[in-house]
Amino acid sequence: MRRLLGEEKLRHRELDLLSYSYDSSFLTQTGDFRPDVIVVARSAADVAATVRYAHEHDVPVVPRGAGTGQTGGAVAARGGIVLDLSPLNRILELDADNLQVICEPGVVHADLNAFLAKRRLFFPPDPGSTKMCTVGGMAANNSRGMRAIKYGSTGDYVLGLDVILPSGETITTGSVGSRALQSSSGLDLTRLFVGSEGMLGVITRLRLKVLPLPASRGLVLAAFDVLEDSGKAVLAVFQAGVLPSAIEILDSSAIKAVNLYKPGLDLPAAEAVLLFELDGNKPGVAHDAQRVAEVVCQFTPRVRWADEPKQVAALWEGRSVVGAASGQVRPGATRVYAGEDICVPIARVPEALRGIQDISGKYETIVVTYGHIASGNLHAAPVIDMASAGERERVGYVAEEIHELALRLGGTVTGEHGVGLTRRAYMTREHGPALATMSLLKNALDPQGIMNPGKTFPE
């Protein structure tokens, strides 16, 4: 590999191997996921050379963006090469007339949107990890975010990809040389690689659809004394014909966490707080915000709304900080990412929230819950003492029961974060015979099983 790539692109000191053995999942803090070597790619040619080497020598190769994934997807489950794509971070071309942008996989999501905002455009998927995660990682995980109810998933904006297959060959999906915004030509390989979690090939270039940036945003905040009323309010807003750009929920533990973290925000004490975001032109936003406030008033009198940017930002801040705030509910303890991404039918969100509270009680483990209620995607955040072996073990049961709850309610174990290592055990149950078809596709493209082995498919 030295001869092939040069020493400067390789990392193999113990500290490097250790650094690359984690992502944001709790799982990677509990085992040893060190690779044998890291390749820091500087070009698509480096990626192709690395994959060809892996193919020739039958060595595992694991693509990696920023390592913000929460499933162990970007770590080496079976040793081999971790391929760091973060230096491939150039925005190659903005084709504003055709509403698309071409970029390398290591571009950080927030950087892309800062670049687009200057041209009054935006790339709508909006993960909470925006300041860290890469667009390559987002496509590989089919990431979503708070605005998925209105704008959909990353996959909805991927028009085409350059992918280096496990054989080392490069293909372009979405029609070579096309600048069309849609296509019905051939099998949809773009969709196949989106969400494939680095198991079918390495993405080295993305053609992404962008949209005009909404001129204005408004926010409605409502506090509920009865958890179930929050679910009813969401359905009532949809039935009133309003489609907010986001609806977020904080349960009582999340409200407490935010108030401990930033007392100035002074979120109302309640069983649940909902935040409805509206976007569009200013008069339309004001109209919709008032309409949401009227509808929600049927369920609670505690409703506020704003459409001035500073007021909107102030109301939104509670939601923005909740991830970081979760650990505050127990001094000295840590929020861990386990069982953190279930998605249930929206009408069953209140049941899911109650269910999570029951699991929290059963295992005497604090679980702070918040998430994208509009699409039923809930983030449960167990808070544990990392020094306690008993608590580290118990959190595994908590995550397991939360996943079981999601399946029982007719949902899925992952709404946006993916499967990786942490949710393989549920794949047979979730997909039935369709899992064998997934396995056929994987084996057809990667018969040696070198591309991110050990992920998604149960052992």
Ligand X SMILES: Cc1cc2nc3c(=O)[nH]c(=O)nc-3n(C[C@H](O)[C@H](O)[C@H](O)COP(=O)(O)OP(=O)(O)OC[C@H]3O[C@@H](n4cnc5c(N)ncnc54)[C@H](O)[C@@H]3O)c2cc1C
C-alpha to C-alpha distance for 412 and 144, rounded to whole angstroms = 15
**C-beta of residue 408 within 8 angstroms of C-beta of residue 331:** no
Q: Is 143 in the site for ligand X (CB under 6 A)?
A: yes
Q: Is 138 in the site for ligand X (CB under 6 A)?
A: yes
Nearer to ligand X, 289 or 454 (CB): 454
Nearer to ligand X, 63 or 160 (CB): 63
C-alpha to C-alpha distance for 298 and 301, rounded to whole angstroms = 8
Of the candidate spans 57-65, 168-176, 282-290, 358-366, the one that interacts with ligand X by CB under 6 A turns out to be 57-65
Q: How far is the CB of 85 from ligand X (least distance, A)?
A: 5
Instruction: State which of residues 60, 80, 124, 137 lies at the interface with ligand X (CB under 6 A).
Output: 137
Stretch 401-430 residues interacting with ligand X (CB under 6 A) = 416-417, 420
Nearer to ligand X, 341 or 391 (CB): 341
Q: How far is CA 114 from CA 109, 186, 276, in A?
A: 9, 34, 24
Q: How far is the CB of 161 from ligand X (least distance, A)?
A: 9
- For 13, phi then psi, to 5°, come to -70, 155
Q: Is 161 in the site for ligand X (CB under 6 A)?
A: no
Stretch 196-235 residues interacting with ligand X (CB under 6 A) = 197-198, 202-203
Residues comprising the chain, all counted: 459
313 three-state secondary structure: helix
Nearest alpha carbon to residue 212 among 286, 114, 119, 309: 119
Q: Is 106 exposed, middle or buried (0-12, 13-18, 19+ CB in 10 A)?
A: buried
Q: Is 250 in the site for ligand X (CB under 6 A)?
A: no
Burial 249-267 (b: 16+ CB within 10 A, else e): bbbbbbbbbbbebbeeeeb
Nearer to ligand X, 139 or 289 (CB): 139
Stretch 75-114 residues interacting with ligand X (CB under 6 A) = 85, 105
Q: Which amino acid is at 440?
A: L
Of the candidate spans 70-78, 211-219, 241-249, 401-409, the one that interacts with ligand X by CB under 6 A turns out to be 70-78
Q: Which residues bind ligand X (CB under 6 A)?
A: 23-24, 62-70, 73-74, 85, 105, 127-129, 133-134, 136-138, 140-141, 143-145, 197-198, 202-203, 323, 416-417, 420, 452
